[in-house]
Amino acid sequence: MISKLRKILLCAGAIGWGISVLGVLLPWSVLSSLIQSSDAFYACCDSYVAYLLRMAYGGWSIIGFLFLMVLLKPKTYGNLVPLLEIASIFEGSVLLIHGLLLRLPMFPFAADVFFCLVIGLGLLWTERKAVGLSKLHGLIIVLSLLFLCSCNKVITKEDCYGEWIPLQDESAEKCIVLSQDGTMKCNNLEWKDVASDREGTMPPSGKWTIGSENTMIMSVVNNHAKTIHFDFNDRLAGYGGYVIEQDGRIEMWFTVGDPDLYEFKKFVRK
Protein backbone atom coordinates (compact mmCIF):
# COMPACT_ATOMS: atom_id res chain seq x y z
CA MET A 1 0.00 0.00 0.00
CA ILE A 2 2.75 2.41 1.03
CA SER A 3 4.84 1.42 -2.00
CA LYS A 4 1.92 2.09 -4.37
CA LEU A 5 1.21 5.45 -2.75
CA ARG A 6 4.86 6.43 -3.08
CA LYS A 7 4.80 5.53 -6.78
CA ILE A 8 1.68 7.62 -7.29
CA LEU A 9 3.29 10.60 -5.56
CA LEU A 10 6.52 10.21 -7.54
CA CYS A 11 4.54 9.94 -10.77
CA ALA A 12 2.56 13.09 -9.89
CA GLY A 13 5.77 14.92 -9.10
CA ALA A 14 7.40 13.81 -12.34
CA ILE A 15 4.41 14.95 -14.40
CA GLY A 16 3.72 18.13 -12.46
CA TRP A 17 7.30 19.36 -12.58
CA GLY A 18 8.34 17.66 -15.82
CA ILE A 19 5.64 19.35 -17.89
CA SER A 20 7.73 22.50 -17.49
CA VAL A 21 9.95 21.16 -20.26
CA LEU A 22 7.34 22.60 -22.62
CA GLY A 23 8.43 26.02 -21.39
CA VAL A 24 11.89 25.22 -22.76
CA LEU A 25 10.79 23.71 -26.06
CA LEU A 26 7.76 25.81 -27.10
CA PRO A 27 8.30 28.88 -29.32
CA TRP A 28 8.28 32.12 -27.34
CA SER A 29 5.26 33.44 -29.22
CA VAL A 30 3.19 30.47 -28.03
CA LEU A 31 4.58 30.54 -24.49
CA SER A 32 4.03 34.28 -24.09
CA SER A 33 0.39 34.03 -25.20
CA LEU A 34 -0.23 31.16 -22.75
CA ILE A 35 1.27 33.13 -19.87
CA GLN A 36 -0.69 36.28 -20.64
CA SER A 37 -3.98 34.40 -21.09
CA SER A 38 -3.61 32.88 -17.62
CA ASP A 39 -3.89 36.35 -15.97
CA ALA A 40 -1.09 35.28 -13.67
CA PHE A 41 1.59 37.51 -15.16
CA TYR A 42 1.96 40.87 -16.82
CA ALA A 43 2.79 40.89 -20.52
CA CYS A 44 6.19 39.28 -20.98
CA CYS A 45 7.70 41.31 -23.79
CA ASP A 46 11.05 42.11 -22.18
CA SER A 47 13.93 39.96 -23.42
CA TYR A 48 15.44 39.54 -19.96
CA VAL A 49 12.07 38.40 -18.56
CA ALA A 50 11.93 35.84 -21.34
CA TYR A 51 15.43 34.68 -20.43
CA LEU A 52 14.53 34.32 -16.73
CA LEU A 53 11.39 32.36 -17.56
CA ARG A 54 13.34 29.95 -19.77
CA MET A 55 15.81 29.51 -16.90
CA ALA A 56 12.98 28.78 -14.46
CA TYR A 57 11.31 26.27 -16.78
CA GLY A 58 14.64 24.54 -17.26
CA GLY A 59 15.12 24.23 -13.49
CA TRP A 60 11.59 22.91 -12.98
CA SER A 61 12.18 20.35 -15.73
CA ILE A 62 15.25 19.06 -13.88
CA ILE A 63 13.14 18.57 -10.73
CA GLY A 64 10.60 16.59 -12.74
CA PHE A 65 13.42 14.48 -14.21
CA LEU A 66 14.65 13.64 -10.69
CA PHE A 67 11.17 12.48 -9.67
CA LEU A 68 11.01 10.36 -12.83
CA MET A 69 14.37 8.70 -12.17
CA VAL A 70 13.38 7.79 -8.60
CA LEU A 71 10.14 6.33 -9.95
CA LEU A 72 11.83 4.28 -12.69
CA LYS A 73 14.96 3.22 -10.80
CA PRO A 74 14.14 3.24 -7.07
CA LYS A 75 17.09 1.03 -6.13
CA THR A 76 19.59 3.36 -7.77
CA TYR A 77 18.04 6.74 -6.97
CA GLY A 78 15.81 5.92 -3.98
CA ASN A 79 18.16 7.81 -1.68
CA LEU A 80 16.93 11.03 -3.34
CA VAL A 81 13.46 10.65 -1.79
CA PRO A 82 14.33 12.47 1.48
CA LEU A 83 15.79 15.35 -0.54
CA LEU A 84 12.73 15.55 -2.82
CA GLU A 85 10.26 15.48 0.07
CA ILE A 86 12.03 18.24 2.02
CA ALA A 87 12.48 20.30 -1.17
CA SER A 88 8.75 19.94 -1.94
CA ILE A 89 7.74 21.03 1.56
CA PHE A 90 10.19 23.93 1.38
CA GLU A 91 8.85 25.08 -2.00
CA GLY A 92 5.25 24.76 -0.82
CA SER A 93 6.06 26.89 2.23
CA VAL A 94 7.74 29.53 0.05
CA LEU A 95 4.67 29.72 -2.19
CA LEU A 96 2.26 29.77 0.75
CA ILE A 97 4.03 32.57 2.63
CA HIS A 98 4.64 34.82 -0.35
CA GLY A 99 1.27 34.10 -1.94
CA LEU A 100 -0.45 35.27 1.25
CA LEU A 101 1.80 38.33 1.57
CA LEU A 102 1.13 39.28 -2.07
CA ARG A 103 -2.59 38.49 -1.71
CA LEU A 104 -2.64 36.47 -4.91
CA PRO A 105 -5.90 35.00 -6.25
CA MET A 106 -6.64 31.45 -5.12
CA PHE A 107 -5.89 30.03 -8.57
CA PRO A 108 -3.21 29.10 -9.41
CA PHE A 109 -1.68 30.03 -6.05
CA ALA A 110 -3.63 27.50 -3.95
CA ALA A 111 -3.14 24.72 -6.51
CA ASP A 112 0.64 25.21 -6.52
CA VAL A 113 0.82 25.16 -2.71
CA PHE A 114 -1.43 22.09 -2.52
CA PHE A 115 0.64 20.23 -5.11
CA CYS A 116 3.99 20.86 -3.39
CA LEU A 117 2.81 20.16 0.16
CA VAL A 118 0.85 17.02 -0.74
CA ILE A 119 3.84 15.58 -2.63
CA GLY A 120 6.31 16.49 0.13
CA LEU A 121 4.21 15.47 3.12
CA GLY A 122 2.98 12.37 1.31
CA LEU A 123 6.51 11.17 0.61
CA LEU A 124 7.48 11.97 4.19
CA TRP A 125 4.60 9.83 5.48
CA THR A 126 5.43 6.88 3.23
CA GLU A 127 8.92 6.48 4.63
CA ARG A 128 9.01 3.21 6.50
CA LYS A 129 11.66 4.23 8.99
CA ALA A 130 11.16 7.01 11.52
CA VAL A 131 12.28 10.43 10.44
CA GLY A 132 15.58 11.31 12.09
CA LEU A 133 15.69 14.20 14.49
CA SER A 134 18.42 15.86 12.45
CA LYS A 135 16.15 15.97 9.39
CA LEU A 136 13.20 17.35 11.32
CA HIS A 137 15.35 19.92 13.08
CA GLY A 138 16.95 20.99 9.83
CA LEU A 139 13.57 21.34 8.15
CA ILE A 140 12.13 23.34 11.05
CA ILE A 141 15.15 25.67 11.12
CA VAL A 142 15.02 26.31 7.37
CA LEU A 143 11.28 27.02 7.37
CA SER A 144 11.58 29.26 10.43
CA LEU A 145 14.33 31.31 8.78
CA LEU A 146 12.26 31.48 5.62
CA PHE A 147 9.26 32.79 7.53
CA LEU A 148 11.30 35.39 9.41
CA CYS A 149 12.90 36.62 6.19
CA SER A 150 9.52 36.85 4.46
CA CYS A 151 7.55 38.81 7.04
CA ASN A 152 8.14 42.29 5.61
CA LYS A 153 4.93 43.85 4.41
CA VAL A 154 4.45 43.76 0.64
CA ILE A 155 2.27 46.69 -0.37
CA THR A 156 -0.56 45.85 -2.77
CA LYS A 157 -3.35 47.85 -4.38
CA GLU A 158 -5.75 46.52 -1.75
CA ASP A 159 -3.76 48.36 0.94
CA CYS A 160 -4.71 51.67 -0.67
CA TYR A 161 -8.49 51.29 -0.62
CA GLY A 162 -10.37 53.52 1.79
CA GLU A 163 -10.20 56.94 3.36
CA TRP A 164 -6.89 58.76 3.89
CA ILE A 165 -6.38 61.82 6.09
CA PRO A 166 -3.40 64.23 6.38
CA LEU A 167 -0.88 63.11 8.98
CA GLN A 168 -0.48 66.65 10.28
CA ASP A 169 -4.22 67.29 10.44
CA GLU A 170 -6.17 64.12 11.23
CA SER A 171 -9.58 65.62 10.49
CA ALA A 172 -12.50 63.84 8.90
CA GLU A 173 -13.24 66.99 6.91
CA LYS A 174 -9.98 66.66 4.98
CA CYS A 175 -9.46 63.34 3.26
CA ILE A 176 -8.74 61.37 0.10
CA VAL A 177 -11.00 58.42 -0.69
CA LEU A 178 -9.52 55.76 -2.99
CA SER A 179 -12.03 53.30 -4.47
CA GLN A 180 -11.50 49.82 -5.87
CA ASP A 181 -12.58 50.88 -9.35
CA GLY A 182 -9.64 53.28 -9.64
CA THR A 183 -11.60 56.47 -8.94
CA MET A 184 -10.88 58.89 -6.11
CA LYS A 185 -12.43 61.81 -4.26
CA CYS A 186 -10.77 64.72 -2.46
CA ASN A 187 -12.48 66.60 0.34
CA ASN A 188 -11.25 70.07 1.38
CA LEU A 189 -7.62 69.41 0.47
CA GLU A 190 -5.10 71.96 -0.68
CA TRP A 191 -2.05 71.20 -2.79
CA LYS A 192 1.05 73.25 -3.56
CA ASP A 193 1.63 72.64 -7.25
CA VAL A 194 4.98 72.63 -9.04
CA ALA A 195 6.68 76.07 -9.26
CA SER A 196 3.98 77.70 -7.16
CA ASP A 197 4.38 79.49 -3.83
CA ARG A 198 0.70 79.13 -2.91
CA GLU A 199 -1.53 76.18 -2.20
CA GLY A 200 -4.57 75.57 -4.34
CA THR A 201 -7.63 73.41 -3.80
CA MET A 202 -7.34 69.89 -5.16
CA PRO A 203 -9.99 68.87 -7.72
CA PRO A 204 -12.90 66.98 -6.11
CA SER A 205 -12.48 63.81 -8.15
CA GLY A 206 -10.10 61.93 -10.41
CA LYS A 207 -8.37 58.61 -10.94
CA TRP A 208 -5.54 56.87 -9.13
CA THR A 209 -3.05 54.15 -10.00
CA ILE A 210 -0.36 52.35 -8.05
CA GLY A 211 2.91 51.60 -9.77
CA SER A 212 6.05 49.58 -9.20
CA GLU A 213 8.52 49.53 -6.34
CA ASN A 214 10.60 52.68 -5.96
CA THR A 215 14.16 51.89 -4.95
CA MET A 216 15.07 55.53 -4.27
CA ILE A 217 12.48 56.10 -1.56
CA MET A 218 13.01 52.54 -0.25
CA SER A 219 16.64 53.44 0.44
CA VAL A 220 15.46 56.51 2.37
CA VAL A 221 12.87 54.81 4.58
CA ASN A 222 14.64 51.41 4.60
CA ASN A 223 11.34 49.69 3.93
CA HIS A 224 8.91 48.66 1.19
CA ALA A 225 7.55 51.45 -1.03
CA LYS A 226 5.64 51.77 -4.30
CA THR A 227 4.79 54.72 -6.50
CA ILE A 228 1.25 56.11 -6.69
CA HIS A 229 -0.23 58.71 -9.04
CA PHE A 230 -3.31 60.91 -9.02
CA ASP A 231 -4.75 61.94 -12.36
CA PHE A 232 -7.16 64.88 -12.67
CA ASN A 233 -8.42 65.38 -16.20
CA ASP A 234 -5.38 63.54 -17.63
CA ARG A 235 -2.98 65.70 -15.57
CA LEU A 236 -0.86 64.24 -12.77
CA ALA A 237 -1.23 66.10 -9.49
CA GLY A 238 2.08 67.27 -8.05
CA TYR A 239 5.44 65.67 -8.79
CA GLY A 240 4.60 62.16 -7.66
CA GLY A 241 3.93 60.05 -4.62
CA TYR A 242 4.69 56.87 -2.76
CA VAL A 243 2.89 54.28 -0.66
CA ILE A 244 5.22 53.37 2.19
CA GLU A 245 5.29 51.06 5.18
CA GLN A 246 6.39 53.32 8.02
CA ASP A 247 6.28 52.68 11.78
CA GLY A 248 4.12 49.59 11.35
CA ARG A 249 1.47 51.29 9.20
CA ILE A 250 0.92 52.23 5.57
CA GLU A 251 1.41 55.89 4.67
CA MET A 252 1.11 57.92 1.45
CA TRP A 253 3.80 60.51 0.81
CA PHE A 254 3.48 63.06 -1.98
CA THR A 255 6.16 65.46 -3.16
CA VAL A 256 4.59 68.87 -3.69
CA GLY A 257 5.84 72.29 -4.71
CA ASP A 258 9.03 73.23 -6.53
CA PRO A 259 10.96 70.09 -7.65
CA ASP A 260 14.16 71.63 -6.21
CA LEU A 261 12.54 72.65 -2.91
CA TYR A 262 9.78 70.09 -2.59
CA GLU A 263 8.26 68.87 0.64
CA PHE A 264 6.34 65.74 1.59
CA LYS A 265 2.62 65.85 2.24
CA LYS A 266 1.86 62.72 4.26
CA PHE A 267 -1.41 60.81 4.62
CA VAL A 268 -2.48 57.88 6.79
CA ARG A 269 -5.47 55.61 6.32
CA LYS A 270 -8.31 56.39 8.69
- pLDDT, tens digit only, all 270 positions of the chain: 657 888 888 899 888 888 888 777 777 667 666 665 554 444 444 566 677 788 888 989 999 999 999 999 998 998 898 889 888 888 888 888 878 776 677 777 889 999 999 998 888 888 765 455 456 656 666 666 666 565 556 678 888 899 988 887 655 578 889 998 888 888 877 765 555 555 667 778 888 888 776 666 655 666 677 888 878 765 544 445 788 877 778 888 876 655 556 667 788 888
Where does residue 47 rank: exposed (0-12), middle (13-18), buried (19+ CB within 10 A)? Answer: exposed
pTM value?
A: 0.57
Cβ partners under 8 Å of residue 30, min gap 6: none
Q: Where are the beta strands (DSSP E) in the chain?
A: 162-166, 175-178, 183-187, 190-192, 199-201, 205-213, 225-232, 235-236, 240-246, 249-256, 263-269
* Contact assessment for residue 123 and residue 6, using Cβ atoms and an 8 Å cutoff: yes
